[in-house]
Structure 1
Amino acid sequence: MPRQARVIVPGFPHHIVQRGHNRQPVFVERRDYVYYLGNLREWKQVYELEVFSYCLMTNHVHLVVQANDNVTAIPQLMKRLAGRQTRFVNALEKRSGSLWEGRYKISPIDTDAYLLACCRYVELNPVKAGMVEKAKAYEWSSYSARVGLLASDWLDESDSFRALAVDQQARIEAYRQFVEQHNGSPADVMIQEAINSNKLTGGQKFVDDIETRIGIRVEARKPGRPTTQK
């Protein structure tokens, strides 16, 4: 079966996953996580990208990044992040070779229907993996910054998040409930299938609209039904 081509759609958020080579650990020491996030902060500003969500697991990374009009910006971001982390770890461990799988996976997201669900999916990874009981207990995701438990001057807010309520505290509470009341969602199935195959995270109308917009046929899937985002 041919490998599904990666698609980047200007103006839409994208779910990105990059795994360690042979699924080996990428982050071992605290310094590894800190270094990656420092580079994410630096290079997302260089390429004028917005980061809505992230989670650094031991052997892979989840990012939700808004694409701009420069379709090379996200690939360049991922190249910089992977290259710097590889050189950093190799120098410390006196080793050589690849730290990452050759290709990251990416899925454009239907903003209105699935963006918040995708951010929740990303931030609940450590909970689903049994590493922590609550998302707020995991230090290396965007959740604590999103709900105001940790200061961040570079994590961006999406229009979908701002639409949750009229003021910031109410938005935070709405999002906190949205994440904490999660007990399995049909949206998660679509999100996982989409990112695993570089497909679009959205229903059939979204697929049709994007195909028309970019002039590339994307294999059709059955439309999903997202959970309420409020």
Structure 2
Amino acid sequence: MARMPRLNLANVPQHVVQRGNNRQVTFVTRSDYVAYLEKLRYYAEEYKVQIHAFVLMTNHVHLLVTPTTEKGISQLMQSLGRYYVRYFNHVHKRTGTLWEGRYKSTLVDSENYFLLVSRYIELNPVRASIVGHPADYPWSSYQHNAVGKKIQMLIEHRTYLALGSNSEQRQGRYRFLFNSEIPEKSLAEIRDSTDKAWVLGNDKFKEQVEQLTGRRASPMPKGGDRKSKKFRDRQGGEYQRL
């Protein structure tokens, strides 16, 4: 089945994932991580994309970002990806592709899923058994969001800002969220939505996205209730968009 086209809406957060080709290593030395982050900041400013959370793993990247234009994230990822491939190939004396085709992404419901996705991103090194706690991993936004080590390129989302009236309060309440594990069901929902370009949010949010974009925000139920008016209306809408 063909992958659904990406959904891009200005001012709506997205979870973005880019992996190394065949899961090959994309970061080897400290300089690699620094080079990627420096250009991430540069292109985010150029294309007016707000960076809220990130983690750089050895063979892939997770970002939680908000574009101010519909094309912002695509422009950011294309420019950053091309630059970093040239950099990596030159430094490590290699040729050929580095990234696994196109990046993957999903729209994120700010009210109900933003902090969940932020935790999911920053807990990647823990799930991979690289560190025992996210604070021990240097290449993630946890250092800013929870520890208080300022990362200049990060722009705190309104959902994060609502955690408290000052930085110390917000960081403390954000750290508290990490005291509980993310349920397996939620992990699967995040991964599935990102991998298949569905929307990550509640039903109301998905309906709003469908109205704005004219395409489904989630997969149809298997089989569906073919006698229901909602099913018939949705099918009719799909035919009209063909």
TM-score (norm 2): 0.87
- Counterpart of 1:109, as a letter, is V
- Counterpart of 2:162, as a letter, is A
In 2, the alpha carbon distance for the partners of 1:77 and 1:101 equals 16
Contact persistence 2:120–2:182 (CA under 8 A): no
Contact persistence 1:114–1:187 (CA under 8 A): no
Is 1:183–2:181 an aligned residue pair?
A: yes
Contact persistence 2:135–2:147 (CA under 8 A): no
Structure 2's unaligned 5+ residue stretches are 222-242
The CA deviation string for residues 123-180 of structure 1, in whole angstroms up to 9 with x for no partner, is 000000000000010011110111244222221100001111222211110001102x
Structure 1's unaligned 5+ residue stretches are 223-230
- Counterpart of 2:181, as a letter, is N
Contact persistence 1:5–1:198 (CA under 8 A): yes
1:5 alignment counterpart: 5
1:59 alignment counterpart: 59
1:136 alignment counterpart: 135
SS at match of 1:26: coil
1:228 alignment counterpart: none
- Counterpart of 1:150, as a letter, is K
Is 1:153–2:152 an aligned residue pair?
A: yes
Is 1:105–2:81 an aligned residue pair?
A: no
1:114 alignment counterpart: 113
Contact persistence 1:54–1:141 (CA under 8 A): yes
TM-score (norm 1): 0.91
Note the C-alpha offset of 1:221.
6.5
- Counterpart of 2:44, as a letter, is K
1:72 alignment counterpart: 71
2:238 alignment counterpart: none
Note the C-alpha offset of 1:14.
0.2
Contact persistence 1:204–1:220 (CA under 8 A): no
Note the C-alpha offset of 1:183.
1.7
Larger CA deviation: 88-97 vs 49-58: 88-97
SS at match of 2:15: strand
SS at match of 2:151: coil
The CA deviation string for residues 179-220 of structure 1, in whole angstroms up to 9 with x for no partner, is 2x1223243221111111111111222111100012222334
SS at match of 1:202: coil
Contact persistence 2:55–2:140 (CA under 8 A): yes
What RMSD, in angstroms, separates the aligned Cα atoms of the two structures? 1.4
- Counterpart of 2:20, as a letter, is G
Contact persistence 2:148–2:171 (CA under 8 A): no
In 1, the alpha carbon distance for the partners of 2:23 and 2:74 equals 21
1:217 alignment counterpart: 216
SS at match of 1:177: helix
Count of residue pairs the alignment pairs up: 220
SS at match of 1:18: strand
In 2, the alpha carbon distance for the partners of 1:112 and 1:43 equals 27
Note the C-alpha offset of 1:94.
2.2
Note the C-alpha offset of 1:4.
1.9
Contact persistence 1:207–1:220 (CA under 8 A): no
Note the C-alpha offset of 1:31.
0.9
The CA deviation string for residues 59-90 of structure 1, in whole angstroms up to 9 with x for no partner, is 0000001021x211111100111111100011
Contact persistence 2:4–2:196 (CA under 8 A): yes
